[in-house]
């Protein structure tokens, strides 16, 4: 958006005797994406812009088109007209980005490369140093408010204790910015979000099973019944891949000993005895009951695997995870996610909904009557 403003692609434009401020022409933007190597071709450029529309980042100036058309139509960034939805997660992320930019741009910054237990960490600071700086710069009113801000940043995966053992405290514990806001990101990264490969390997995916209570001699967890056909997938957590999921407490866990997360073994075959259609599921008198589950994710995710599509089903549940504690079971069908009806969606889309939603997950599932 800022680059488009600098390049004068975003400007006030007149159409049918009316002036539309801060907008761009879709066709010109597609040309710009190709010229600046943000997209290899027009088709990819259109898909990228549609992704931004789907996430409420851009919209048609009159909201007459719900899709992005590569034509002489006017679109606008919602941040330029005040319609961008600022959820709590977005506000925390933007605050973290603002603080990071301010910290790296000053001389004698508290952000430094530091060493702890013979390991060097980038973008680090002491908890008490950060609190001193926040109060001194007027970012907060007092030290208590600074601690609350630090905790919010940590809970959203923006900062973390270097060995992930502690929450944020006013102390000489060493923390780092986990997110490098200055890494040059390419728009095409957006198109990898929903691929099955990205879901199994992304550190933000809640759908891979966690590894609980690991012992040195066994680094895998069988999510379902023993089967000769076993598939290895990454076991990851919601915010950071550097911590071991060896403790249900999100902090004070054992120091990480692996460069990558441990693995879980997952049965690749569907656990359903036979495919079920939405018509069968919803037909009057069908042997299914609806249940509402409230799942509070912990430091390593929600602890279940969803697969299939139209409808999706629960493929596996970590017996020690939050989903199991909430009553989730294998073979349940996913009816809604956070109030949104999802029986018509595939599991990649449902996973995206959950990953971009709050940590407390409200799901309606349909379960066969025994």
In tens, the pLDDT along 306-365 reads 998 889 999 988 888 889 999 999 999 999 998 888 888 888 888 888 887 788 899 999
Domain check: are 93 and 55 in the same one?
A: no
What total number of domains does the chain contain?
3
Contacts of 177 (CB under 8 A, 6+ apart): 96, 100, 111, 123, 158, 159
Is the preceding omega at residue 128 within 30 degrees of 0, hence cis? no
Domain check: are 316 and 282 in the same one?
A: yes
In a domain, 232, yes or no: no
pLDDT tens for 6-41 read 899 999 998 888 899 999 999 999 999 999 989 999
Domain check: are 34 and 96 in the same one?
A: no
In a domain, 206, yes or no: no
Question: Residue 165: what pLDDT?
Answer: 84
In a domain, 299, yes or no: yes
**CATH number of the domain enclosing 39:** 1.10.10.10
0.95 exceeded by pTM: no
pLDDT tens for 162-206 read 888 889 999 999 999 987 777 777 788 777 754 433 444 343 344
In a domain, 102, yes or no: yes
State the Cα–Cα distance between residues 134 and 146, nearest whole angstrom.
7
Of the three residues 36, 51, 77, the one that is the final residue of a domain is: 77
- The mean per-residue pLDDT over the stretch 117-127 comes to 89
Torsion of CA 293, 294, 296, 297, to 10 degrees: 40
Domain check: are 69 and 94 in the same one?
A: no
**CATH number of the domain enclosing 298:** 2.30.42.10
Question: Residue 60: what pLDDT?
Answer: 94
In a domain, 186, yes or no: no
Domain check: are 284 and 359 in the same one?
A: yes
Domain check: are 107 and 127 in the same one?
A: yes
Domain check: are 59 and 104 in the same one?
A: no
**Chain-centre distance of CA 133, in angstroms?**
29
Domain check: are 28 and 99 in the same one?
A: no
Question: Residue 87: what pLDDT?
Answer: 79
**Chain-centre distance of CA 241, in angstroms?**
13
Q: How many CB atoms lie within 10 A of CB 41?
A: 11
Closest CA to 322 of 361, 367, 264, 365: 361
Domain check: are 61 and 113 in the same one?
A: no
Containing structural domain, residue 125: 88-177
CB-based contact 246:213 (threshold 8 Å):
yes
Domain check: are 108 and 68 in the same one?
A: no
In a domain, 215, yes or no: no
Torsion of CA 195, 197, 203, 208, to 10 degrees: 100
CB-based contact 56:85 (threshold 8 Å):
yes
């Amino acid at each position: 958006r800022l680059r488009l403003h600098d390049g004068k692609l975003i400007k006030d434009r007149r159409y049918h005797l009316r002036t539309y401020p801060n907008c761009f022409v879709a066709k010109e933007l597609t040309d710009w994406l190709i010229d600046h190597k943000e997209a290899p071709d027009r088709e990819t450029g259109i898909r990228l812009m549609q992704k931004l529309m789907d996430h409420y980042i851009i919209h048609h100036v009159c909201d007459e088109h719900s899709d992005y058309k590569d034509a002489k139509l006017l679109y606008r960034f919602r941040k330029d007209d005040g319609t961008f939805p600022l959820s709590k997660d977005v506000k925390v992320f933007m605050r973290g980005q603002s603080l990071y930019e301010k910290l790296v741009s000053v001389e004698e910054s508290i952000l430094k490369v530091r060493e702890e237990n013979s390991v060097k960490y980038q973008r680090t600071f002491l908890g008490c140093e950060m609190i001193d700086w926040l109060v001194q710069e007027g970012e907060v009113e007092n030290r208590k408010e600074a601690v609350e801000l630090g905790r919010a940043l940590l809970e959203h995966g923006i900062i973390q204790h270097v060995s992930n053992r502690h929450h944020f405290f006013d102390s000489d514990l060493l923390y780092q910015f986990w997110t490098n806001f200055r890494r040059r990101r390419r728009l095409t990264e957006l198109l990898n979000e929903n691929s099955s490969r990205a879901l199994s390997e992304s550190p933000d995916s809640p759908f891979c099973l966690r590894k609980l209570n690991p012992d040195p001699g066994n680094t895998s967890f069988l999510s379902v019944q023993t089967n000769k056909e076993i598939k290895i997938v990454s076991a990851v957590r919601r915010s950071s891949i550097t911590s071991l999921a060896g403790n249900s407490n999100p902090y004070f866990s054992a120091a990480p000993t692996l460069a990558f997360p441990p693995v879980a073994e997952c049965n690749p075959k569907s656990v359903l005895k036979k495919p079920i259609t939405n018509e069968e599921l919803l037909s009057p008198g069908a042997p299914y009951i609806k249940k509402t589950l409230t799942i509070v994710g912990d430091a390593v995710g929600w602890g279940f695997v969803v697969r299939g599509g139209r409808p999706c089903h629960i493929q596996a549940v970590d017996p020690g995870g939050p989903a199991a504690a909430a009553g989730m079971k294998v073979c349940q069908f996913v009816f809604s996610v956070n109030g949104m009806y999802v029986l018509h969606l595939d599991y990649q889309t449902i996973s995206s909904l959950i990953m971009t939603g709050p940590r407390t997950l409200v799901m309606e599932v349909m379960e066969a009557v025994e």
